[in-house]
Amino acid sequence: MSTTAAQKFLQDAAVKSADLMHREVIRRGMESYDAAHLKGRARINDWEAARQKCQEIKREAINHLDRYLLQFEEKITARGGHVFWAANSEEACTYVKDLATRRGVRTVVKSKSMVTEEIHLGPALEKAGIKVWETDFGEFIVQLREEGPYHIVTPAMHLLRGQIATLFQEKLGQKIESDDPAYLMAVARRVLRQAFFSAEMGISGANFLVADAGVIAISTNEGNGRLCTSVPRIHVVVTGIEKVIPRLEDLAVLWPVLATSGTGQGITTYGTLIGGPRRPSEADGPEEFHVVLVDNGRSQLLADAEQREVLHCIRCGACLNICPVFRHVGGHTYGTTYPGPIGSVLTPHLNGIKEFKHLSYASSLCGACTSVCPVKIDLHHHLLQNRRNATEAGATKSSERLMFRAWRNAMLHPSIYALGGWSMRKALRIVYGLGLAGSILDPMRVWNRYRSPVPLPSESFRARWRKDRAAN
């Protein structure tokens, strides 16, 4: 029998949560993020008002998604760009692959894009014999390691610089003399520079699609995004349909809020707006410009009034950073493109509730994610709704269902409840008295594996209350 996603999650979570080295690396990374994030928030006069504004913008966009997307498409097309509507991963990958084949593309440079991860575009192109270079430094590293991004903003945050130096030594075929970050970056830059100038196609994502101006907006820090979108003769944008926003002026709040939530920056180093291929008067830019609008389950989520706002997400990663579960199990354990709270909410919608419901249960429902979300998605309550959807779809164990039915019946009868509680305490006291705590006979053995046994008073509160009342 093959391992299910849920079994694999449990196994990986057990390993990672006990890996103190991993915990320390993530703790350090998150602590520097926390400090930057707090400082960044302090730069914004009224953070709550900014969140509110971002929520309103995204709500308006999502509620009128059809209109804004068509407006965006019209502008792009008018400038000679192409817009392709992809219903799913396969359609999106086929479009890009066919385009690349038709144009004789042998090398592709990519800037960072989670949607291309979601649809597995890189492997699809490689399979067609096309060399794909990830040019974001973190993505470049995880690509060399043949693994997915660990985090949606900082893909290689789980690695120490020594590990990166060793990796470069092994994979780049050159002598690596130091693990100094600037040196390692220079090595990567030299390698990638050649890729940029040999590539016939550049692929990017988009942080926002601006409807009224008809441009894509990209926030980056490394400069690789600009090279990907301007040097090769074809530029393909692969993005989700939910990225559209109504107006150019909305970027005035969305850009700084995204940067603040993502990395604690006031604004990212580069903010790029692109609306089509190179015009006759322009010195550089691609000859061809394509936008692939990926649905891949999103319009189904749009139809769900209760959870539609999940499409507000701007992929800043703030919910991952604050999540105590993410901090302990790490990004790869989730086994999904989008890890952390947003991934646990979204993945059952994109990839099926039956296979991915466990992620919605893998949360203490602490609500830290919701408290930091810059577009105010009610993340932890959506986890509760996913859980309810899972039980309603009959995707949970029938033994669990029977247990809760029995439990409900007891709770409706105070005397049965009281008797049940008394018997449970009595039974546990006997088991523990025999020194069998943690054994197969101990119904609390899962608890007791990591914790000392719960207190087992001889009398419940209600018994004491009744006695006191009788005495007075």
Partner 1 sequence: MQRKVSLFVPCFVDQLLPEVAVDTVKVLRRIGYTVEFPEDQTCCGQPAFNTGYWDEARPCAEHFVQVFKNADIVVCPSGSCVTMVRTFYPDLLATSSLRDDAITLASRTFELSEFLVKVAAVTQVGATFPHSVTYHASCHGLRELHLRDEPLQLLRHVNGLKLIEMTRYDECCGFGGTFALKFADISAAMGNSKADSVAATGAEFVTAIDPSCLLHLQGILGKRHAAPRTIYLASILAHDGSTQKSAAQKSSAQETT
Q: Which residues bind partner 1 (CB under 8 A)?
A: 10, 13-14, 17-18, 23, 324-325, 327-329, 361-368, 370-371, 384, 386-392, 396, 400-401, 404-405, 407-408, 410-414, 417, 421, 424-425, 446-447, 449-457, 459-462, 464-466
| Nearest residue to 234 (alpha-carbon basis) of 267, 266, 263, 201 | 201
- Is the CB of 224 or the CB of 360 nearer to partner 1? 360
Give me the least distance between CB of 289 and partner 1, in Å please.
44
For residues 393 and 353, is the Cβ–Cβ distance under 8 A?
A: yes
> Which is closer to partner 1, CB of 248 or CB of 366?
366
* Least gap, CB of 92 to partner 1 (angstroms): 33
Q: What is the layout of strands, in order, in the sheet containing 131-134? A: 82-86, 288-294, 234-240, 201-204, 107-110, 131-134
Task: Kindly state the smallest distance separating residue 40's Cβ from partner 1, in Å.
Answer: 19
The letter for the amino acid at 472 is: N
CB 421 to partner 1: min, Å: 4
CB count within 10 Å of CB 451 equals: 9
Toward partner 1, which CB reaches closer, 160 or 446?
A: 446
- Nearest-CA neighbor of 375 among 244, 258, 267? 258
Smallest gap from residue 117 Cβ to partner 1 (A): 24
Task: Quote the least distance from Cβ 460 to partner 1, whole Å.
Answer: 5
**Residue with the two structure tokens 């220079």:** 186
Closest CB to partner 1 among residues 41, 387: 387
Q: Which two tokens stand for residue 226?
A: 């600009």
Minimum distance from CB of 420 to partner 1 (Å)?
9
Which of residues 115 and 368 has its CB atom nearest to partner 1 in the complex?
A: 368
* DSSP characters over 172-199: SSS------HHHHHHHHHHHHHHHHHH-
Contacts of 81 (CB under 8 A, 6+ apart): 275, 276, 277, 289, 290, 291
Cβ distance to partner 1 smaller for residue 185 or 362: 362
Q: Which of 236, 277, 295, 289 is nearest to 85 (CA)?
A: 295
- R_g over Cα of the chain: 26
Burial of 185 (0-12, 13-18, 19+ CB in 10 A): middle
Burial class (CB in 10 A: 0-12, 13-18, 19+), 252: exposed
Closer by beta carbon to partner 1, 270 or else 447 = 447
CB 293 within 8 A of CB 239: yes
* Nearest distance in Å: CB 150, partner 1: 17
Q: Which is nearer to partner 1, 144 or 362 (CB)?
A: 362
